[in-house]
């Protein structure tokens, strides 16, 4: 008789997949969507007519470029522009071009969970805006916060675009904002995008486009598990489903099993059964209003200095400082 030994979990990805698929109800973390294929799918999502978030924030940054840049301006030592979840930097390039053209003294530090995204962004900036000094890093938000503690030699401007804060429920968002606050001095700033509450159908459409790009993006979690962990998910047996609660402002994404079946993950030696209509929760996207953002700021030791909105008030960027 051979002894049964548990699989060796040698990466965060393996550990999180094991924990998520053996939990009830099942879940997977949306951060693992973002490999090279996931990055490409998200670029397609941002171009969809239903996906208003990118367009609204792009409009904000294009309309208020000088005002935002001048708020960022440091003293003679300049400042570090640290962007969490930088992605392809499409919106950020508006600011970077203005900052370089107007001789601002700064270093751009893009940080993203996807190494592919950081490599592509660094290469693109070298070609498009070679004057920008870029110091990119791969990492998750909470890992990065520890490293930010060491940036004390000059002003920091921490930037989080795309309403990435919306991937965290309020308790976790307060924890995140509080840790950001801990890294900040009195002169430092936090510039963060928050998608606003609006017609619930408008929100649902943004995360469930008719062409199926968002569905493919969500299912890329299963594709990646197949590729990297030796699983045999049949993605055609899962349906992308979006739900939005206008009372709480929480949008949730699910993968729903359309038939009763089993899958096997070789590297985990794990068999997982799915009942018909069983779900895997994959993502949340929180929506806000000024009262909620004000409450989050107060709970985190921050204060709102000013806001910038698109003409429809679909989306807002808030500029925070430490509360005095």
Q: How far apart are CA 19 and CA 17, in angstroms?
A: 6
Tell me the whole-structure pTM to 2 decimals.
Answer: 0.89
Picking from 9-13, 293-297, 306-310, which range would have the lowest pLDDT averaged per residue?
A: 9-13
pLDDT for residue 97: 96
Query: Distances in Å between the alpha carbon of 176 and those of 55, 57, 170, 204, 316?
Result: 26, 22, 10, 26, 19
Angle in degrees, 0-180, between the axes of helices 170-183 and 290-299, rounded to the nearest 10:
50
Whether the CB-CB separation of 311 and 320 falls below 8 Å is answered with no
Instruction: Name the phi and psi angles at 271, rounded to 5.
Output: -100, 130
Which of 300, 286, 292 has its CA nearest to residue 250?
286
pLDDT at 181: 95
Strand-pair partners of 321: 303
pLDDT score of 136:
87
User: 156 near 82, Cβ under 8 Å?
Assistant: yes
Which pLDDT tens digit goes with each residue over 193-243? Answer: 999 999 999 999 999 999 999 999 999 999 999 999 999 999 999 999 999
pLDDT band at 10 (very low <50, low <70, confident <90, very high): low
- CA distances to 13, 108, 276 from 17, in Å: 6, 33, 20
How would CATH label the architecture of 52-198+288-322?
3-Layer(aba) Sandwich (3.40)
Alpha helices in the chain, H assignment, sequence order: 12-21, 36-47, 52-63, 65-72, 92-101, 115-128, 141-148, 170-183, 200-206, 213-229, 290-299
pLDDT of residue 13 exceeding 70, the answer is yes
- Among 142-156, 277-291, 298-312, which is the least confidently predicted range? 142-156
Q: Can you tell me the distance from the alpha carbon of 42 to that of 101, in angstroms, rounded to the nearest whole number?
A: 30
Please give the backbone phi and psi of residue 63, each rounded to the nearest 5 degrees, phi first. Answer: -80, -35
Q: Is 99 helix (H, G, I), strand (E, B) or coil?
A: helix
Would the pLDDT of 5 be above 60?
no
Band (148; pLDDT cuts 50, 70, 90): confident
pLDDT-derived band at 8 (thresholds 50, 70, 90) equals low
Domain boundaries, the chain: 12-47+201-286, 52-198+288-322
């Amino acid at each position: 008789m051979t002894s049964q030994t548990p699989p060796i979990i040698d990466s965060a990805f393996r550990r999180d997949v094991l924990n998520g698929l053996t939990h009830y109800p099942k879940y997977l973390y949306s951060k693992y969507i973002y490999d090279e294929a996931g990055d490409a799918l998200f670029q397609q999502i941002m171009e969809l007519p239903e996906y208003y978030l990118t367009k609204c924030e792009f409009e904000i940054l294009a309309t208020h470029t000088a005002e935002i840049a001048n708020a960022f301006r440091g003293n003679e030592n300049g400042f570090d522009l640290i962007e969490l979840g930088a992605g392809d930097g499409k919106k950020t390039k508006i600011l970077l071009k203005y900052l370089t053209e107007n001789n601002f003294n700064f270093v751009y530090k893009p940080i993203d969970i996807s190494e592919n995204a950081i490599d592509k962004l660094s290469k693109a900036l070298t070609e498009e805006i070679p004057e920008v000094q870029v110091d990119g890093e791969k990492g998750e938000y909470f890992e990065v916060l520890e490293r930010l503690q060491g940036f004390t030699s000059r002003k920091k401007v921490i930037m989080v675009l795309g309403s990435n804060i919306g991937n965290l429920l309020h308790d976790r968002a307060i924890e995140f904002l509080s840790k950001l606050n801990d890294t900040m001095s009195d002169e430092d700033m936090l510039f963060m995008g928050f998608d606003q509450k609006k017609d619930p159908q408008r929100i649902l459409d943004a995360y469930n486009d008719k062409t199926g790009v968002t569905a493919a993006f969500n299912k890329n979690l299963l594709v990646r598990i197949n590729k990297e962990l030796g699983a045999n998910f049949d993605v055609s047996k899962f349906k992308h489903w979006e739900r939005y609660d206008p009372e709480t402002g929480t949008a949730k994404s699910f993968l729903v099993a359309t038939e009763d079946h089993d899958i096997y993950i070789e590297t985990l030696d794990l068999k997982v059964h799915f009942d018909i209509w069983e779900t895997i929760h994959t993502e949340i996207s929180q929506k806000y209003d000024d009262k909620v953002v004000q409450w989050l700021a107060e709970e985190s030791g921050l204060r709102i200095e000013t806001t910038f909105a698109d003409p429809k008030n679909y989306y807002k960027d808030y500029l925070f400082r430490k509360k005095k």
